Structure 1
Amino acid sequence: MPDMQITTPPDGLPLPQRYGAIATIALGITMAVLDSAIANVALPTISREFQASPAESIWIVNAYQLAIVVSLLTLSFLGDILGYRRIYQWGLVLFTCTSLGCALSSSLDVLTMARVVQGLGGAMLMSVNTALIRIIYPKRFLGRGMAINSLVVAVATAAGPTVAATILSIASWKWLFLINVPFGIIALWLALLFLPDNQQKNSQQHFDVISAIMNALSFGLMLSALSGYAQGVAMKWVLLQLALLLIIGTLFIRRQLRMPVPLFPVDLLRIPLFSLSMCTSVCSFCAQMLAMVSLPFFLQNSLGRDEVATGLLLTPWPLATMVLAPIAGRLIGRFHSGLLGGIGLTVFAAGLFTLALLPAKPVDWDIIWRMMLCGAGFGLFQSPNNHAIVSSAPQNRSGGASGMLGTARLVGQTTGAALVALMFNVCGENGTHAALLLASAFSTAAAIISLMRIKQPVNP
């Protein structure tokens, strides 16, 4: 009887290729995450140039965010079928080309449409980045890879306004988008050289177009209703969107429950560690955005700081995250992710609560040490939590887990931003204080949920 050779997928990439692959991921995700927030600072300038109202110009931001949220799970599902490398490379091409299109836009409508397509490119990058990290790093070093990814996302999210302000101080708003072009070309070159392909594609997996449409409608209606309510849209329209969401969402979930490999991964949500980690992620990112969106208003309107000073006072948050995220990555495997996340989120909640209790006329150090506390807690939590989400899923469902990780972050951030608007509408000048107290509540809830995971096994 002839010997049978069993091929097993390699455990990670060899070191030179691994460095190139993670550099590709870091560069692509930095561009995609930065562009989620970087346009905020330029909205007044863009609206004046195109003679548009503030309400019209806000679609420059909303169009990008909405395109990502409604397509993320669909693209991660395609990654399981077609390969994560292919989806990521297509995403780099689309994101780079549409960044040039944004810079060359001649009207607000053209810019908005370019941002929609750019959002689809960003979704391609975000949908499979952690799935790629899972095959880039050996299992024993996966925590380090997740720490690098968490660090890139956290720093890019927090540093967006500062980066935008720096660019706008020396150049036109068009350079917010033009700067992506050379970096996109470099990232694509690195991707072609170093990115691996997933060995376990689900070639028999069926792509359901109806599920993809229902997924887009469900998330689109949810975010639209939430934002509309927060910004004071007529209640009849909010209720109509909620009714449509209830009908379409129910039909969507029922359809997914009947599918052997669903687009919306209800199969993964049956894994307790995965579902608890998802809840933790949504709550924590909602708390993060409540703070990061509301604090600039307090610093500028109440304390009279200018844009540069505001950016500098917000910087200790990402700097503390940069220090703690690699440490958290090395602790993965030694301590349960639920314990690490619970400790980090408790520190995060303490930082947010102390920010809410700032004195009426704080000196810079009063703000700096509180921001460092928030960043340190968030850095300690995020890497273990992301590792728990990705590693608790079967290998051939890494794309679905990666898509859900990105969806949790974006839903949390979008919810947090909408709640900031609601707090300012309800509380007026005390909106920042109310937003920070609400952020403390969300982070406390996240800490409790994280500690509930300690009894769950690390692997399903």
Structure 2
Amino acid sequence: MGSGSTELKAEYKDKEQESGSKNRYIVLVLVLTGVLMAVLDGSVVSIALPTITEHFRVSIAESQMIMTAYLVTITSLLLIFGKVAERVGKARLFMLGLALFTSSSLACGISTSLEMLVLCRIFQATGGAMMFSISAAIIFLAFPKSEQGRAMGYIGSTVAIGSILGPTLGGFIVDLLGWSYIFLINVPIGIVQLLLSARYLRIEETRSKSLEVDWIGGLTLIALIVSMMTFLGQLSYGFAPTPPILLLALIFVLSFFGFIINESRQKSPLLDLSIFRYRMFVLPSISMILFFVANLMITVLGPFYFEGVRGYTASQVGLIFLIVPAITVFGAPLTGAVYDRHQFRYLAALGMSIMALSMIALGFLAMSTANDIRQLLICFVFMGLGAAFFQSPNNTELMRSLPVSKINIASSFTATIRNLGMALGVSLSGLLVSLQMAQAGYYGTISDAGPAILASSISRVMMIAGGLCIISAIVAIYRGSKMK
């Protein structure tokens, strides 16, 4: 979405929009439905992961690629499609993305192997990236100036609603219909949306005559992220320096330095490296990525614990994982209002400290099945409170840390690291739980592991997630001490 925001401000500056589109509310619903579908499919799979793992009889390191592939693809392509839209057109790119997302959702639902499902998820994420990258731009241009602020606010609400609905909706769909329907449900919605978009998705926009994309930067960024995620996945099979691991490590190192060198020489780079000169931008960025890594580790492994150890159904697990986003979506705006009024510079650090203690406590409690479930639920409540305290002040500080001329760069970069943190969390959860099970002498798949092995292994990873939050809190405390 960050790249879309960059271009929309440039267009708006050239051409004031006073009237907006006469079908702007239809456009709003169509775009937000696409955003909701893309967000849901990023989170809904976590609840279905134990069922899919057992269905294909694979390890968690293999099945977590279903989530990793989706997150990595979106992370890699957001900046690129923001540039492509300048030439293709925002409305046209959105419809192409919707068509690809819908057709690949059907392919995901009828997949007969894990490899086919992962490949289809890559195509699905590509369609999602097309929609996500310019959704804000379309809404901004469809509304008159007097209504743009309110319209843009609906995007944040839609993302939050998607995070809330994902686990709950996924749990009920898996229990009632089976895992394939978490993908197949997109098909009828997407078809109706495409028919309506063909008629109503019209916005005034000026397309560039040429396509100016830093393709070298885009390709090296994709190579960098894919090699890093695949490398982490391969490590779950062991730390021996096998040819695949060495090759992935080499690709990662070369692509990392290649990306840095290329971006430093480009006149119009995908990523302006000068933002890293601002310490007060870098520090909240570190806190943010650690937050999402830790959060996704709990999100991925939690369902395996509650289903495999506690014996809960997918729908029951979905309700448990509804707690954190539900508290966050209501608590974050309140926390943001408090921060705006009082400017408490250690509020983000307080939030991360609460998150850390909650995750560590959850890990200790998960070691024994004798603990009352209410104790575990209390941990989730405090995790939600911690997330609410952390996100608003951290995001505000991050956006205020750069000059106004670089505000769009901050927006696109934070969107990218948010997705990267989520992808890292998914990969690390598979790696760490595999290592914990191997240390306990178990080398089979997670779906076949007994409750004792699951409880011991997953609980330790939960405490590691809490440790990451401690590091994030320390960074936030240091940042607070340096604020004026």
Shared fold per TM-score greater than 0.5 = yes
Q: In the alignment, residue 255 of structure 1 is paired with which amino acid?
A: N
1:31 partner amino acid: M
Provide the residue aligned with 2:101 in structure 1.
95
Alignment of 1:344-423 (within 5 A): 344-358=351-365, 360=368, 361-387=370-396, 389=398, 400-423=409-432
How far the C-alpha of 1:171 sits from its partner, in A, is: 1.9
Q: Give the secondary-structure state (helix, strand or coil) at the position aligned to 2:365.
A: coil
Q: Determine the structure 2 residue equivalent to 1:170.
A: 176
Q: State the alpha-carbon separation in 1 of the partners of residues 286 and 394 from structure 2.
A: 10
**Structure 1 residue 439 corresponds to structure 2 residue 465:** yes
Secondary structure at the counterpart of residue 206 of structure 1: coil
Residue 254 of structure 1 corresponds to which residue in structure 2? 261
2:217 aligned with 1:211: yes
Taking only aligned residues, the RMSD between alpha carbons, in angstroms, comes to: 4.3
Matched, 1:293 2:319: no
What amino acid is the match of 1:294?
L
1:221 aligns with 2:227: yes
Quote the offset at 1:165 in angstroms: 2.4
Which residue, 269, 274, 285 being the options, matches 2:276? 269
Is the 1:38–1:164 Cα contact (8 Å) retained in structure 2? yes
8 A contact 1:77–1:399 mirrored in 2 = no
1:268 deviates by 3.4
Measured in 2, the distance between the counterparts of 1:82 and 1:433 equals: 49
Q: Match for 1:444: what amino acid?
A: I
- How far is 1:257 from its partner? 0.5
Going from structure 1 to structure 2, the CA distance change for 1:450 and 1:27 (only over 3 Å counts) comes to farther
Listed as ranges, the gaps of 5+ residues in structure 2 are 1-11, 438-452
Question: 2: distance between equivalents of 1:433 and 1:413?
Answer: 20
Instruction: Find the aligned partners of 1:331 and 1:274 in 2 and give their Cα distance.
Output: 22
Letter of the 1:425 partner, please give it: S
Task: Say if 2:348 and 2:393, in contact at 8 Å, map to a contact too.
Answer: yes
Q: 1:391 to 1:151 in 2, by over 3 A?
A: farther
Give the structure 1 partner of residue 4 of structure 2.
none
Q: Residues of 2 paired with 1:305 and 1:279: CA distance?
A: 35
**TM-score, with length taken from structure 2:** 0.76
Q: 1:35 aligns with which of 29, 38, 41?
A: 41
2:312 pairs with one of 305, 309, 330: 305
Residues 354-390 of structure 1 show CA distances to partners (whole Å, capped at 9, x for unaligned) of 3233273222321222211111221333344445555
Q: Does 1:343 align with 2:350?
A: yes
- Matching of residue 318 in structure 1 with residue 344 in structure 2: no
Question: How far 1:95 sits from its partner (Å)?
Answer: 1.4
Tell me the equivalent position of 1:3. none
Q: Distance in 2 between matches of 1:338 and 1:245?
A: 37
Distance between the aligned counterparts of 1:105 and 1:413, measured in 2? 24
The alpha carbon displacement at 1:211 in A equals: 1.9
Name stretches of at least 5 consecutive residues in structure 1 with no aligned partner: 1-5
Distance 1:65 1:457, change over 3 A: same
Check 1:393–1:126 CA distance in 2 against 1; reply closer, same or farther (3 A cut): farther
What is the one-letter code of the residue matched to 1:120?
T
Report 1:22-101 matches (<5 A).
23-24=29-30, 26-42=32-48, 53=58, 59-79=65-85, 87-101=93-107
Query: 1-side partners of 2:94 and 2:277: how far apart?
Result: 28
Counterpart code for 1:382:
Q
Q: 2:121 aligns with which of 115, 125, 132?
A: 115
Deviation at 1:163, TM superposition (A): 2.1
Does the 8 Å contact 2:64/2:430 carry over to 1? no
Cα offset, 1:124, TM superposition: 2.2
Give 1:425's aligned residue: 434
Matches of 2:76 and 2:342 in 1, distance apart?
35
**Which is worse superposed, 70-79 or 237-246?**
70-79
Q: Describe the superposition over 1:231-285 as per-residue Cα deviations: whole angstroms up to 9, x where unpaired.
A: 4374333233122211221122111001122113323334444433322221100
Match of 1:282 among 269, 282, 289: 289
Identity %: 26
Choose which of 235, 247, 252 in structure 2 pairs with 1:240.
247
User: How much does 1:289 deviate?
Assistant: 1.1
Give the length in aligned residue pairs. Answer: 450
Counterparts of 1:279 and 1:139 in 2: how far apart (Å)?
A: 36
Which string of whole-angstrom CA distances, capped at 9 and with x for unpartnered residues, describes residues 201-246 of structure 1? 8888831222221111111111111222134374333233122211
CA change 1:16–1:336 in 2 (3 A) is farther
* Secondary structure of the corresponding residue to residue 357 of structure 1: helix
How much has 1:120 moved relative to structure 2? 0.4
**TM-score of the two chains, using structure 1 as the length reference:** 0.79
Tell me if structure 2 keeps the 8 A contact 1:272–1:456: no
- After superposition, residues 115-194 of structure 1 pair within 5 angstroms as 115-129=121-135, 149=155, 152-153=158-159, 156-157=162-163, 160-184=166-190, 189=196
Deviations 1:90-149, CA, capped at 9 Å, x for gaps: 433321232234335566655443322111012223434566788779899969956x65
After superposition, residues 327-342 of structure 1 pair within 5 angstroms as 327-331=334-338, 333-334=340-341, 336=343, 339-342=346-349
The residue type paired with residue 264 of structure 2 is: L
C-alpha spacing 1:288/1:110, structure 2 compared with 1 (3 Å): closer
Of residues 327-336 and 443-452 in structure 1, the stretch that sits farther from structure 2 once superposed is: 327-336
* Contact 1:80–1:398 (Cα < 8 Å) also in 2: no
Shift of 1:47: 7.4
**Which region of structure 1 is more displaced relative to structure 2, 328-337 or 402-411?**
328-337
1-structure distance, mates of 2:340, 2:91: 27
Structure 2 CA distance, aligned partners of 1:144 and 1:271? 31
SS at match of 1:260: coil
